[in-house]
Amino acid sequence: MGCPTSRRCCERWESTSHRMPPARHSAAARCTMASKEVRLPSGSEIPIKEFYQHYQPPVKATAIVRRLLSRVPDKYIRGLGYVVLTNLSGQPRRHRLGKTTSRGRRVPQSRVLGRYHQRCQGQTPWIELYVDQIFRGFPRWALWIPFARDLAIGDTLYHELGHHVHMFIRPEYREKEDVAEDWRKRFMRRFLRRRYWYLIPVALIIRLIRR
């Protein structure tokens, strides 16, 4: 896991604004403010940044990630700094070539769809998604289907969020990839039940097409 590095590319991000409270307040007002200050962040408040180099995403990835995060309970978002959307093809050579370790085995980095970066040098944990990898080989006709787009990004986003829950919120003494997969399934089921309850049987078909 590493810390963010500077890149020569376009940057676009979303963030929430904060207002400073007045200097003086009644005791009741101070209690109200205190309760707001410790409120857990929601999925709609997690900054989403885009760093693409010589790549144009085929979908509005920021809107999709925002929609997916909005269905995750706030307690599982706690501690997450932000989500970065980027392209693997624009990464340094050392990030594109070679191999990484997963489940005790060495796998090509060219197969990586996303990464979870743990807390590093005082920076908050963050998630990195490789949009070009996620949609590589994705049928063009499927890009017009909101359900298919959400499912494609959601699989990777929720898996990496599962790593965050495992490392930061609810540790377990199991294989980390297994834990992340369990959380991915849990988050995805919740999302589908609330947004696409009428299309759940179609999910299996789309997964088979993507293979």
Task: Dump pLDDT digits (tens) for 115-127.
Answer: 999 887 788 999 9
Give dist(CA 193, CA 206) in Å, integer: 17
Q: Using CB atoms within 10 Å of the CB of residue 159, give its burial: 0 to 12 exposed, 13 to 18 middle, 19+ buried.
A: buried
Give dist(CA 78, CA 164) in Å, integer: 9
Structure tokens at 47: 């900054």
Domains of the chain, residue spans: 10-210
Task: Dump pLDDT digits (tens) for 142-166.
Answer: 999 998 999 999 999 999 999 999 9
Task: Dump pLDDT digits (tens) for 168-205.
Answer: 888 888 888 999 999 999 999 999 999 988 876 776 77
Give dist(CA 97, CA 108) in Å, integer: 7
Radius of gyration of the chain (CA): 19
Element (H, E) at 128: strand 126-130
- Check if the beta carbon of residue 48 is closer than 8 Å to that of residue 11: no
Other CB atoms within 10 Å distance of the CB of residue 40:
12
Distance, C-alpha 211 to centroid of its chain = 22
Which of 84, 126, 131, 139 lies closest to 112, judged by CA? 131
pTM: predicted TM-score of the whole model, two decimal places? 0.73
Task: Dump pLDDT digits (tens) for 30-75.
Answer: 333 333 344 556 655 899 999 999 999 999 999 999 999 999 999 9
